[in-house]
Structure 1
Amino acid sequence: MSTEPEEAAPRELPPTATSAAEMQEPPIRRMPFAWFWPLLVGAAAAFVLRIAFSGLPGQRFSAMLGSFIYLAPAVCGAVTVYMAERIERRGWGYYIWAPWVATALFVVGTLLVYIEGMICAIVIVPMFAFMGSLGGLAMGLVCRVTNWPRPALYSFAVLPLLLGAIEPQLPNPELISKTSRTVFIAAPAERVWHELNDVRDIRPTEVGDAWAYRIGVPMPVAAVTEQTPEGRVRKVQWQKNVHFDEIVTDWQPLQRVEWRYRFSPDSFPAGALDDHVLIGGHYFDLRDSAYTLTPREGGTELRIDVSWRVSTRFNWYADRVAHFLLGDFSEHILRFYKVRSEATAAAA
């Protein structure tokens, strides 16, 4: 029997901290500003659609078609969420607010390259934000419950192009609306009537706080009623060399004056208004306006009635915008006539 010590069996050493760390997966390296890239790609996708939708009003691929107004921001939101989900899982809140930022970037981009004007951009941003969120939520749902987000995204992106080619063949809806406002003026009807039919040298400070003028609509400069061979015509001048006629259709001295609008090809010089909101154009028109004077104790009650037409696939939205802007305009123009009439009456 050997008395030499037997060799000890090798034993595994406990893992050291270093070896445990080596067993871990290496950290994922992300691109700089990874949070921003999904927003930028979503905005770029909508921008490409805007380039495609450069058709003339009423024709194929016009930017005022419902297929663009509804689906371009939805595609923007869907692309944003898809790109973000490829990086990591996002929450439902992200599906809502990220498309807002992406559509805002898209609108800013169209302004920077002069594809859109300021009036259209400001008016359409709320609509785009809403549709962008719907697109983001839809894509977020697809990413969570299916294994085919990419085919869904491709289908989403092609849909506006398909509809943009066939939509102009369908009848265009038309909606007629009107608004009324009233103000009391501490001046006789004769003074108010004179101001209505012979107003000159309108200063921006007198009307400039109306929302229509804040977003870029040219401000009025003068409006004078003249006797012409065709009857009474109110000649109107705005800033940026805008001019048009108001053909008087009802003339009751000291009581009521009503007119319809007449626009000529040179009424709105290039750049004076956005093409999509051109007054008298394919999508929007002013029909008629009227002022009614009613004698009251100590002065005159002046009422304005304005009628307009909108012809879009999103009249439910466009008409509400028109109601807000024209209602606000009516209040400010009545205030203008009130200040002018009371000032001249006091001076007399």
Structure 2
Amino acid sequence: MHNDSGEDSRLGDPAMPATSDTLEAPPRRMPFAWFWPILAGAAIALVLRIVFSGGPGQRFSAMLGSFVYFVPAVCGAVTVYLAERIERRSWGYYLWAPWVATALFVIGTLVVFIEGIICAIVIVPLFAVMGSVGGLAMGIVCRITNWPKHAVYGFAVLPLVLGAVEPQLPNPDRFSHTSRTLFIAAPAERVWRELNDARDIRPGEIGDAWAYRIGVPMPVSGVTVETPEGRVRQVHWQKNVRFDEIITDWQPGRLLRWQYRFTPDSFPAGSLDDHVMIGGQYFDLRDTAYTLTPRDGGTELRIDVSWRLSTRFNWYADRVLQALLGKGSENILRFYKARSEAVATAAG
């Protein structure tokens, strides 16, 4: 009796280890648990983007290096930190999960209308890289230290501190250019006429340059007129964009060069991303030149375009512009080729 009762009491004691028959099932995870860290990282970055809504040259501008570099890094760090709280993740996770989170972050900025499609598309690759940097750094912290929570706090505070200080420092300027050349089976006089009197430009004549595919308005006309200040090429793009090109070198049949003049109403609201306006603090077109060289059977037409960048990420933005403006220049040359050759053929 005594032994049986003692054994019974031990079995009933909650402090005693349970048998395999009484083991509780492991707690069930929430549905889509794998997705919540990614969504949380994107949400934190979106909140920071709302904070970084300052105008050009002001504190907390979205064009500051503190935003472009560190906010996607925060996105990646938060994603990895929350995922590590659930279970240990692989090194590969530290790299690819921040890509998904930063992509969701960019999509979120478009949904709430605080970012334009042009900037969103061109910045995604850089955001993905910085997100992976933040995710990898947080993964290392989680593996070798006991203070991941403090680290993620530091990640989140860093862009806010730098966003308040950075505008007090001057932005570096970078001047670049691109050149393209194309042979046109038409005399230089014909090409010259098309350069100075391009009217009723149809979208199909320009082609599918990336700049136009991501939202840059297509040209509608470019006509040179005589004004009291001299020759001016008056330009009209889609979305009611209008500006002047002040001609600085005029050699009929040989060379045409101009500088750009933009006014506050050159770009109506919504025609381009408002914080990267052409002629603004961060980006400006400097000049464009067309050089015509007679060749056997026609004319060699060369275009040279130069610009200025003033950002903390000139190294990246310049490569983007080299690709966009280079491809755009090729399409424009093909437009003049098609029009000039069509007229020359009809005349022949």
Q: Normalising by structure 2, report the TM-score.
A: 0.94
For residue 239 of structure 1, what is the aligned residue in structure 2? 238
CA distance in 2, matches of 1:337, 1:202: 11
Aligned with 1:56: secondary structure? Answer: coil
CA distance in 2, matches of 1:194, 1:153: 62
CA distance in 1, matches of 2:101, 2:24: 33
Map of 1:110-121 to 2, 5 A cutoff?
A: 110-121=109-120
CA distance in 1, matches of 2:236, 2:203: 13
For residue 226 of structure 1, what is the aligned residue in structure 2? 225
For residue 79 of structure 2, what is the aligned residue in structure 1? 80
Q: Which runs of 5+ in 2 are unaligned?
A: 8-17
CA distance in 2, matches of 1:297, 1:157: 64
CA contact (8 A) 1:208 1:219 kept: no
Could you tell me how far 1:76 is from its partner in structure 2? Answer: 0.0
CA distance in 2, matches of 1:123, 1:224: 31
Could you tell me how far 1:212 is from its partner in structure 2? Answer: 0.3
**Which has the higher mean CA deviation after the structures are superposed, 165-174 or 21-30?**
21-30
CA distance in 1, matches of 2:278, 2:170: 21
CA distance in 2, matches of 1:305, 1:250: 13
Map of 1:292-307 to 2, 5 A cutoff?
A: 292-307=291-306
> What amino acid is aligned across from residue 276 of structure 1 in structure 2?
H
Is residue 2:211 matched to residue 1:209? no
- Once superposed, what is the RMSD of the aligned Cα atoms? 1.7
CA contact (8 A) 1:256 1:291 kept: yes
- List per-residue Cα deviations over 1:99-126 (Å, max 9, x = no partner): 0000000000000010001000001000
For residue 14 of structure 2, what is the aligned residue in structure 1? none
Aligned with 1:257: secondary structure? Answer: strand
Could you tell me how far 1:277 is from its partner in structure 2? Answer: 2.4
Q: Which runs of 5+ in 1 are unaligned?
A: 1-6, 13-18
CA distance in 2, matches of 1:55, 1:165: 10
Aligned residues with identical type, % of pairs: 77
CA contact (8 A) 2:55 2:275 kept: no
CA distance in 1, matches of 2:327, 2:76: 32
CA distance in 1, matches of 2:24, 2:258: 77
For residue 289 of structure 1, what is the aligned residue in structure 2? 288
CA distance in 2, matches of 1:51, 1:161: 12
For residue 36 of structure 1, what is the aligned residue in structure 2? 35
CA distance in 2, matches of 1:320, 1:309: 13
Aligned with 1:237: secondary structure? Answer: strand
CA distance in 1, matches of 2:21, 2:82: 31
Map of 1:19-30 to 2, 5 A cutoff?
A: 20-30=19-29
- List per-residue Cα deviations over 1:297-335 (Å, max 9, x = no partner): 000000000000110000000111011100011111001
Aligned with 1:303: secondary structure? Answer: strand
Is residue 2:110 matched to residue 1:131? no
Aligned with 2:289: secondary structure? Answer: strand
CA distance in 2, matches of 1:23, 1:309: 73
CA distance in 2, matches of 1:93, 1:84: 13
> What amino acid is aligned across from residue 242 of structure 1 in structure 2?
V
Aligned with 1:292: secondary structure? Answer: strand
> What amino acid is aligned across from residue 53 of structure 2 in structure 1?
S
- List per-residue Cα deviations over 1:29-64 (Å, max 9, x = no partner): 111110110011000110111011110011110000
Runs of 4+ in 1 over 6 A off after TM superposition: none
Could you tell me how far 1:171 is from its partner in structure 2? Answer: 1.3
CA contact (8 A) 1:235 1:243 kept: yes
For residue 102 of structure 2, what is the aligned residue in structure 1? 103
CA distance in 1, matches of 2:171, 2:120: 23
Could you tell me how far 1:275 is from its partner in structure 2? Answer: 1.4
State the number of aligned residues. 337
Aligned with 1:240: secondary structure? Answer: helix
For residue 260 of structure 1, what is the aligned residue in structure 2? 259
Aligned with 2:132: secondary structure? Answer: helix
Map of 1:127-206 to 2, 5 A cutoff?
A: 127-206=126-205
